[in-house]
Amino acid sequence: MGFERVTRRRFLAAAGVAAGLAGCNAPAGEARRRSDLVNTTPDSPSVYADVYREAIDSVVLIRVFGGDGRNGQGSGFVYDQRHIVTNEHVVSNAADVRVRFTDGSWRAAEVVGTDVYSDLAVVRVSDKPTRAEPLSLVRGEVAVGQEVVAIGNPFGLSGSLSSGIVSGVDRTLPAANNFSIPDAIQTDAAVNPGNSGGPLMTLDGRVAGVINSGSGDNIGFAISAALIRRVVPALIESGAYEHAYMGVRLTDVTPLLAEANDLSNARGVYMDEIVDGGPADGVLQGSDGTEAINGIDVPVGGDVVVRMGGEPIQSQQVLSTYLALSTSPGDTIPVEVIRDGTRTTVDLTLGSRPEP
């Protein structure tokens, strides 16, 4: 079902840590120093505090009640006057969804659209609090090293903030049917179960991405604002989003693959298999055999895509990002390939990705 679950043991453990830090066993002088810090913090200049104060009323806790009796929770943020953005995996298969705002009030929410291929979803609420204003999305790209904050509800601890930097961009995350989510942001800001669906924000108060997952110490990921901008309006309008689809199984060109196929450079994307009846069937060429290189069977005979729509294609990541952010089903695009040692250009009309 994919809910963000918070076990009682984890919650009590987190609460125990907080209680220990706030306990009365510290020396009186240390207690006074902590009190002084608490009292002076609101008056101290802090860009993190500014971002938090401006955004927190627009970040919500989402509680999900499943039809099979399993419950879960996550985070979300106000997108417009009626809609909240979160992750698809937070609300998937939900029988009932409730949203809590920072004033403590709850609202019943309706799931209006989900997209498993981007892990994005939209829920609708009525009469939200006036202080819960829509958050703006980043325009353009974020930079590696840029400072960001994550706001959400890890382990059910409402309104938590963590800080870090953008550790990487243009990452790919796993999605259904062996597809991937392109253009994701990697961050070292702490994210945990319950953060999913909440905003990853720049220090000027804009949403850089929707937190998707944490994959270990100091590694978290977010769905980029660029992908949000394409997917969310369609989810609001029609409840679904159609992804462009080539109908191929591909792999990056490695040195071994380049050697086997007499390529001068290990660059581009190799078309290993063409899906029967798919958009690329009869347009692109897949492998027609293998060749042993250093005892390893390497596919040969397939097209190597080096350019699409005039854009250079150097890897699967670049190809996936181009399809996701620059094309739509029904578009016809020129595809430059190396086929049997010769460069040629073919026109490919994109289809729609199959249902998961």
Domain locations in the chain as residue ranges: 8-124, 147-229, 244-352
pTM: 0.85
Average pLDDT of span 203-221: 90
Q: Residue 356 — very low, low, confident or very high, per pLDDT cuts 50/70/90?
A: confident
Average pLDDT of span 204-233: 93
Q: Residue 21 — very low, low, confident or very high, per pLDDT cuts 50/70/90?
A: very low
Buried b (16+ CB within 10 A) or exposed e, 122-156: bbbbeebbeebebbebbeebbeeebbbbbbbbbbb
- Considering the segment(s) 244-352 as one domain, its CATH architecture is Roll (2.30)
Is the pLDDT score of 41 beyond 70? no
Is the pLDDT score of 355 beyond 50? yes
Average pLDDT value over all residues in the chain = 88
Catalytic residues: 89, 119, 196
Pairing of strands 219-224, 147-152: unpaired
Is the pLDDT score of 3 beyond 70? no
Instruction: Give the pLDDT confidence score for residue 67 in this predicted structure.
Output: 75
Instruction: Give the pLDDT confidence score for residue 40 in this predicted structure.
Output: 40
Instruction: Give the pLDDT confidence score for residue 32 in this predicted structure.
Output: 36
Percent of the chain having pLDDT more than 90?
81
Q: How far apart are CA 236 and CA 81, in angstroms?
A: 12
Instruction: Give the pLDDT confidence score for residue 42 in this predicted structure.
Output: 53
Written as six digits, the tokens of 303 are: 């097209």
DSSP one-letter code for 307: E
State the chain's maximal CA–CA distance in angstroms. 80
Average pLDDT of span 250-274: 95
Percent of the chain having pLDDT more than 70?
87
Q: Which CATH class is domain 147-229?
A: mainly beta
Please check whether residue 7 is in contact with residue 155, taking contact to mean a CB–CB distance below 8 angstroms: no
Q: How far apart are CA 290 and CA 300, in angstroms?
A: 5
Instruction: Give the pLDDT confidence score for residue 66 in this predicted structure.
Output: 86
pLDDT one-digit tens code per residue, 301-314: 999 999 999 999 99
Instruction: Give the pLDDT confidence score for residue 341 in this predicted structure.
Output: 93
The neighbour count for residue 56, using CB atoms within 10 Å, is 16
Instruction: Give the pLDDT confidence score for residue 181 in this predicted structure.
Output: 96
244-352 has the same fold as 8-124: no
The CATH number of domain 8-124 is 2.40.10.10: yes
